[in-house]
Amino acid sequence: MRSYLIVIASTLLLATLSQRACIGDFYSQASNRGRKFFLILIVIILACFIGLRTSYNDTYTYRMMYEATPVFPEFWKTFSWTLGDNPGFQICNAIMRSLNISWHGMFLIYAFITTASAIWLFRTFSPDFTTALFLFFATNAYTLTAAAQKQCLAIAIAAFAIPYALKKRWTPFVLIILLASTFHQYILMYLIVPLLTFKPWTKWTYVLIAGALLCGFLFDSLVGVMIDLAALVGDDYTEEKIVGEGISVLRVFVSMAPIFLSYLYRKQLFKKSAKSSHVFVNFSTVNASVMFVGLFGSSIAFSRLAGYFTLMQCVSLPWILSELPSRDRRFWKTMMIVGYCGFFLYANVIAGAFDASFSRITLWEYINQVFLS
């Protein structure tokens, strides 16, 4: 855990420096070149820490899957274009295998893609990059990139479709989402983005919340429908995977933080707000809605499903805080830091010790493997 905390502290420091350059006792805006340098350092640190893992969650499964992937041209004999078989992920694995890239290298490359995409998203859409990065850690969105590799690769690709949706350029938007779906089919949910441009806390927000409440309270009656929907995108879900011990109430409350604040200050937040802010706040509402439904179902299934929208919470909450009056902003930012730090400790120490399942090699060990083996 100590090494993880060092990674968090160092990258948050670099994030702060990327926003401001410290010269003596005065602060001035960092140059674009300086900002890019700090951002690159952040990506390298985050990618190397999670990409050089040897164990954590499904790491062994992904390793075995990679090592079992045939090289070209034999790969085409067993290749499947079925969406549920993740053809894009298969092809990328086959390319790396054909280039004799080790499984360590595979994890490292994928880690660079997922972390670089998240950093780009935060820098592009969040008014407070450091707070967004803090939430990236505190919500466990960062460690999810190791636990759900295919899903996070799909999210990383789909993130680049959002600017096209905001500009109403639907062709590139749809094409990028379709490309992302070849890594994990549930990213097709991002096709709802055009429907999320409405101003938050109008009638459509209440419709969304009412739908979530209805799905939660009628969960048992909807299990069959959920299984059928999963089958439509090529996934073989069973009742056992959907029904089980529900998501903890604490996780649900954490996911509701942006929704609570946006409702509390709705009259001043959305008077002249940009469409991008609407999308990210509405995405956060979707995230909280999925978490709520997960109270009645399987914590694994619904927390993974909500994971598609967690990055949006990392963008929406800093935006909400930045729009509040200074006095209110200081209070709620302090509450946010304390609350999310508490959740981080609960998720990584109390509920499940991070150190107990995570191990990694050093960058120096990896370099030795590449050049001396």
Could you read off the pLDDT of 269-306 as tens digits, one per residue?
Answer: 988 778 889 999 999 999 999 888 888 876 677 778 88
State the Cα–Cα distance between residues 210 and 216, nearest whole angstrom: 10
Q: What is the tens place of the pLDDT at every residue in 117-134?
A: 999 999 999 999 999 999
**Partner residues linked to 53 by β-bridges:** 360
Instruction: Give residue 238's pLDDT band: very low, low, confident or very high (50, 70, 90).
Output: low
Measured from the Cβ of residue 264, the count of other Cβ atoms closer than 10 Å reads: 13
- For residue 73, say if its preceding peptide bond is cis, omega within 30 degrees of 0: yes
Q: How far is CA 5 from the centre of its chain?
A: 19
For residue 307, pLDDT over 90 is answered with no
Query: CA dist 229 to 189, 236, 245, Å?
Result: 12, 10, 21
Maximum mean pLDDT: which of 25-29, 122-126, 299-303, 360-364: 122-126
Domain ranges of the chain: 1-56+106-147+362-373, 60-101+149-189, 197-324
For residue 61, give Cα distances in angstroms to 47, 72, 146, 234, 331. Answer: 20, 22, 12, 20, 44
Residue 363: how many CB atoms within 10 A of its CB?
14
pTM of the model: 0.91
Say how far apart CA 304 and CA 154 lie, in whole Å.
13
Query: String of b and e for 313-327 (b: at least 16 CB within 10 Å)?
Result: bbbbbbbbbebbeee
